[in-house]
Amino acid sequence: MAHQEISPAILYWGTPVVLISTTNPDGTTNLGPMSSAFWLGHGCMLGLDASSQTTQNILRTKQCVLNLASDNMADAVNALARTTGTDPVPEGKVPRGYRFVKDKFGHAGLTPHASQVVACQGIKECPVIMEAELVVSHKMYQGRAVEGLVLAIEVRILRVSIHDDLRLEGYRNRVDADRWKPMIMMFCDLYGLRPGKLGHSKLAEVEEEMYRPLMETTGEVDDISSDAGMDDGAEHVIGLVASNNQ
């Protein structure tokens, strides 16, 4: 089959959905869904909106909990989508229908899970819970108009806990990969390992072209190959980056 050149506004080819728990300044827990994450050994890189409550909490407390959503948690993930722990709602998020939610657990029907080595709580319903500490953060898109809009945050995994049915029989520290059914974000829609979408995705309601400013390389947004026009690229993309982290 022949290849055709295209210019996608986003390159979300498929990564696990992570619900990040962090501690707010008042001691309450914030939950932020995202999917820009990958692991090497016991390290994890997170791509996060620099202005989000999740990011600010991580930078302040140096801690977080990474809760991996399974493919039966679409309702909870959608409940958290387009909510923010920042009050008032950041100006860039208002046009996209974001709203402030103080109690993210109650709003999404989720249950707090006590952590052992970090202060912030995990999520009981998530089959995989990883307690982590901040290692370092880096500004992304250096030398461009959107420099620093997104941070690449490296965290070290300190403790891993899983639902009992995910443990590989006969082993203390191995996961039964046949039983692990992660939720995957692909091009803003929710999938699992089985064919087809898991259902409706609230994040997919956002026009995909609004992510295009992250592609620019010269300080000017090049919209020649886009499917929709843009006004102020950097302003439009604030709050959308890194798959809806809040």
How far is the C-alpha of 147 from the C-alpha of 216, rounded, in Å? 11
Q: Is residue 4 part of a domain?
A: no
Instruction: List the CATH number of the domain containing 187.
Output: 2.30.110.10
Within a domain: 49: yes
Torsion of CA 15, 47, 223, 238, to 10 degrees: 120
Let me know if residue 135 belongs to a domain.
yes
Quote the number of domains for the chain: 1
Q: What is the pLDDT along the chain (246 residues), one digit of tens a residue?
A: 999 999 988 888 999 999 999 999 999 999 999 999 999 999 999 999 998 899 999 999 999 999 999 999 999 999 999 898 888 887 777 777 888 999 999 999 999 999 999 999 999 999 999 999 999 999 998 988 888 989 999 999 999 999 999 999 999 999 999 999 999 999 989 999 988 888 778 777 766 676 676 665 444 434 434 454 434 444 444 444 444 566
Q: In terms of residue numbers, what domain contains 228?
A: 15-244
| 26 lies in some domain | yes
**9 lies in some domain:** no
Cα→Cα distances 62→80, 136, 139, 193, 222, Å: 23, 9, 17, 33, 37
CA distances in angstroms from 97 to 83, 172, 182, listed in the order given: 8, 45, 27
Residue 59 within any structural domain of the chain:
yes
Domain membership of residue 3 (yes or no) is no
Cα separation of 93 and 7, whole Å? 25
The reply to whether the predicted model has a pTM over 0.85 is no
- The answer as to whether 8 is a domain residue is no
**2/45 Cα distance (integer angstroms):** 34
